[in-house]
């Protein structure tokens, strides 16, 4: 393992450790030199997430001052991902071809789940659920349509 110091685009210097093929070391150094340091990158991401959260009318997060910036970044990515999922789901030909009961259950549960997700204010929740939240709407839709599917198979 080798360590090296890099000056980032933000002007800060930082030490980095590298393990891997020697020929890739220079490429890694150049990549790091073309980016802000980790602290500045996190600050940029947090600022961007806060601005976009306001544009999306998401509620202010509650929790520790340490958790809120990270949670805002997670929330923004999760909400955008779930909004895209709902848009594709509601607009899909497969859903449109479903019978009225199923179609209503899918659309209603997807929209309710998205509202529930978007109204989540607890920064700790976003951090703790950062992976599962990506499929939050899908899980709620599956739960809503399972009784309908079970009734069909009887």
In a domain, 40, yes or no: no
Does 131 reside within a domain? Answer: yes
Question: For the whole model, what pTM was predicted?
Answer: 0.78
The answer to whether residue 20 sits within a structural domain is no
Give me the number of domains the chain comprises.
1
Tell me how crowded residue 127 is: count the other CB atoms within 10 A of its CB.
16
pLDDT grade for 115, boundaries at 50, 70 and 90: very high
Residue 119 phi/psi, 5° resolution?
Answer: -90, -5
For residue 124, being part of any structural domain is answered with yes
Mean pLDDT throughout 111-128? 97
7: Cα separation from own chain's centroid: 30
- Domain extent, residue 99, equals 61-153
Q: Is there a domain that residue 146 lies in?
A: yes
Q: What percent of the chain has pLDDT over 70?
A: 100
Torsion of CA 104, 107, 112, 118, to 10 degrees: -170
In a domain, 149, yes or no: yes
Is 23 inside a domain boundary? Answer: no
* Alpha carbon distances (Å) from 26 to 23, 113, 148: 7, 47, 58
Rounded mean pLDDT, 114-122: 97
Give pLDDT, residue 12: 95
Does residue 145 fall inside a structural domain?
Answer: yes
Confidence of residue 152 (pLDDT cuts 50, 70, 90): confident
- In this predicted structure, the answer to whether residue 50 has a pLDDT above a threshold of 90 is no
């Amino acid at each position: 393992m080798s360590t090296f110091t890099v000056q980032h685009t933000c002007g800060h210097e930082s030490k980095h450790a590298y393990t891997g093929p020697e020929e890739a070391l220079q490429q890694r150094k150049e990549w790091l030199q073309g980016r802000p340091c980790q602290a500045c990158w996190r600050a940029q991401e947090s600022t961007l997430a806060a601005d976009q959260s306001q544009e999306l009318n998401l509620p202010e997060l509650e929790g520790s001052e340490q958790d809120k910036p990270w949670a805002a970044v997670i929330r923004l990515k999760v909400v955008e991902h779930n909004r895209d999922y709902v848009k594709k789901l509601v607009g899909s030909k497969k859903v449109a071809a479903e019978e009225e009961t199923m179609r209503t259950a899918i659309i209603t549960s997807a929209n309710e789940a998205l509202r529930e997700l978007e109204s989540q204010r607890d920064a700790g929740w976003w951090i703790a659920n950062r992976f599962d939240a990506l499929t939050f709407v899908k899980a709620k839709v599956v739960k809503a349509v399972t009784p309908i599917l079970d009734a069909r198979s009887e």
